[in-house]
Amino acid sequence: MAADSAQLDAIKLVGDWCKWYSAIATGAITAIAALIVKDCGLASIFIRVFLGIAVGSFLLSVILAGFVLSSLPEAVQNIMPGNLVWDRKADLLGRRNIRFGVLISYIMWSFFAGIGTFTMGIVGILIVR
């Protein structure tokens, strides 16, 4: 049985949310790469560690968002009326073992870890200058 209109709207919003997080994280990774190429005071190991953690965190959020996005078509096709989108299982490399709600929480926290460490790296660059 197919999803009802409220479930379809929720699935579309989850998809849009994942796309925005991925776009912003990709932009942040690009900004970090530009800092590395420009060599803006990256002599300090402190700054390199924070920027490396930021890249890793942003990459994790993009990868996890990709898992959610790849699971959305199946969610639309076989969600039962009355089921919550958050309780759907995401398809992770053939394994359906993590609920959307949990996976989206991981995306959010890894994204915010990236923002925080990116900010610390920028503050470190400004202090070194």
At residue 10, the pLDDT reads 86
Neighbouring C-beta atoms of residue 89, cutoff 10 Å: 16
b or e along 46-77 (b: 16 or more beta carbons within 10 Å of the residue's beta carbon)?
A: ebeebbebbbebbebbbebbebbeebbeebbe
Cα distance from N-terminal residue to C-terminal residue, the chain:
61
| Amino acid present at 97 | N
Q: What tens-digit pLDDT sequence spans the chain (129 residues)?
A: 566 788 888 889 989 999 999 999 999 999 988 887 776 656 678 888 899 999 999 999 999 999 888 888 887 887 887 788 888 877 777 666 788 888 899 999 999 999 999 999 888 888 877
CB 23 within 8 A of CB 96: no
- Kindly list the domain boundaries of the chain, sorted by start residue: 5-128
